[in-house]
Amino acid sequence: MTDIIKLTAAEIAAKIAAGELTAVEVTEAHLARIEAVDEKVHAFLHVDREGALAQARAVDAKRAAGEKLGPLAGVPLALKDIFTTEGIPTTVGSKILEGWIPPYDATLTKRLKDADVVILGKTNMDEFAMGSSTENSAYGPTGNPWDLTRIPGGSGGGSSAALASYEAPLAIGTDTGGSIRQPAAVTGTVGVKPTYGAVSRYGMVAFSSSLDQGGPCARTVLDAALLHEVIAGHDPLDSTSIDAPVPPVVEAARNGSVAGMRVGVVKQFSGEGYQAGVVQRFNESVELLKSLGAEIVELDCPSFDLALSAYYLIAPSECSSNLARFDAMRYGLRVGDDGTKSAEDVTALTREAGFGDEVKRRIILGTYALSSGYYDAYYGSAQKVRTLITRDFEKAFEQVDVIVSPTTPTTAFPIGERADDPMAMYLADLCTIPTNMAGNAAMSLPCGLAPEDGLPVGLQIIAPAMKDDRLYKVGAAVEAAFVEKWGHPLLEEAPSL
């Protein structure tokens, strides 16, 4: 079992295709690992043992019949519990959808199944993807496998923890303000936020519709690229889906190089609040890029300083609109329906019981920002700042091919440390939010361990919209050089559970 769970997704797929392993053997090894460690980690909310084994048997039958297998056929995956899955629960980490079983698959879920990827189950997350630590889940927090007393990032902490604890070689996350990249950074894994609209949002429970984006999570850059290629592409069921070819991400990951590239370093992604070890590892990464033949260009993007404030007006405003559908009338939880109360009373009681504190905080903030007399002062102004951020990116990408920064200002903080300080919690997404505001593509990959606490540090790479292949080209080059020089932080120094 240990040998199987340590393999990369690419290695697993190759061994299944060659007949060296069966998909059932691989699936059983990961299900055994989940059974052995997930009580401590709490990465999963629901494990679909029978469904996963049925998918695996179908892959083995295809191979036995001589059918051609896809590049990830038989590889297990942990799916964030924000995508609908026919026949198994989708809760979005909330009590208001506890026990809800969707009657259909999200487009992303369907594409995974069509590619013969084996879905192990649904992972824990901050309720409705609102948070930076996976402490806001109605079903309890997830631990970071590097140190179970610390957060695994959020909102997709369950997916990142599943990777770091070897419960799955692949995972899916969603990124509204950093919820793929920030968990990747603090768990020593790879996470990619594709260009907005590159991966279908049909069947993905909405938090902030103009910011939400599904994406791949893995332990290596190549694995992330292989998964990216499976889930991306135009979807007529999603009006925001981009009708354009998927960039050649796998080819870029297999041929990583930064020779002759211009790499930008933004001065706004530094200063007060950045942990010394994070800054040290980032500076080393910049020197590594330089040694690989990249030209480093310093950039000034003044509007980035306003991104956090603007985001926490736009995202809650869209959240208050999207979550209005949870009214106890159509699906999910219903409280107080005893025949004596009005529909309004039942809706109010249900929302009081079903939504957690962070969700209520954002609904109230967003409803206020959209209210008569305040719309222009708050939401309208935030949208103007969003335009300025987009323009700053456009100017920057006239000078450079990609931008790099720390993914998070600090390493994983202790569970509970910021629970009573929302502003401190929100600062965890300081470096990631501007990309969501502009709709660009971005990746986080490991760049070492912070010397003061021995915890993973993430390097963020940002590329222009629809130039996602640049992320993989640079990421693969950095990963290869890093492994050669220092060893992979997860594959070589993995924490024990």
In a domain, 127, yes or no: yes
In a domain, 434, yes or no: yes
In a domain, 372, yes or no: no
Reading phi first (left if > 0) and then psi (alpha if -120 to 50, else beta), residue 494 is in: beta
In a domain, 374, yes or no: no
pLDDT classification of 496: cutoffs 50, 70, 90: low
Tell me what pLDDT residue 431 has.
96
Residue 321, pLDDT > 70, answer yes
Q: Which residues of 161-193 are buried (b: 16+ CB within 10 A; e: fewer)?
A: bbbbbbbbbbbbbbbbbbbbbbbbbbbbbbbbb
Q: What is the pLDDT of residues 13-33, one digit of tens each?
A: 999 999 999 999 999 999 999
Q: What is the pLDDT of residues 93-143, one digit of tens each?
A: 999 999 899 999 999 999 999 999 999 999 999 999 999 999 999 999 999
State the average pLDDT over residues 163-186. 97
Catalytic status, residue 80:
yes
State the average pLDDT over residues 466-486. 92
178, two tokens: 């950093």
Radius of gyration of the chain (CA): 21
In a domain, 291, yes or no: yes
CB 129 within 8 A of CB 49: no
CB 467 within 8 A of CB 421: no
DSSP single-letter state for residue 406? E
Q: What is the 3-state secondary structure (H, E, C) of 183-231?
A: HHHHHCCEEEECCCCCECCCCECCCCCCCCCEEEEECCHHHHHHHHHHH
With DSSP H G I counted as helix, E B as strand and the rest as coil, what are the percentages for the chain, rounded to 5? Answer: 45, 15, 40
Total number of domains constituting the chain: 1
pLDDT classification of 421: cutoffs 50, 70, 90: confident
pLDDT classification of 373: cutoffs 50, 70, 90: confident
In a domain, 351, yes or no: no
Tell me what pLDDT residue 427 has.
84
Say which of 94, 160, 179, 444 is annotated catalytic.
179
Tell me what pLDDT residue 52 has.
98
In a domain, 335, yes or no: no
Tell me what pLDDT residue 190 has.
98
DSSP single-letter state for residue 142? P
Catalytic status, residue 320:
no
212, two tokens: 């939400």
Q: What is the 3-state secondary structure (H, E, C) of 28-56?
A: HHHHHHHHHHHHHHCCEEEECHHHHHHHH
Catalytic status, residue 384:
no
Say which of 133, 155, 160, 405 is annotated catalytic.
155
Q: Which residue range(s) make up the domain with 26? A: 1-301+388-493
Q: What is the pLDDT of residues 356-365, one digit of tens each?
A: 999 999 999 9
pLDDT classification of 355: cutoffs 50, 70, 90: very high
Q: Write the CATH number for 187.
A: 3.90.1300.10
Residue 491, pLDDT > 60, answer no
Q: What is the pLDDT of residues 45-81, one digit of tens each?
A: 999 999 999 999 999 999 999 999 999 999 999 999 9
In a domain, 12, yes or no: yes
pLDDT classification of 376: cutoffs 50, 70, 90: confident
Tell me what pLDDT residue 493 has.
52
Percent of the chain whose pLDDT exceeds 90? 91
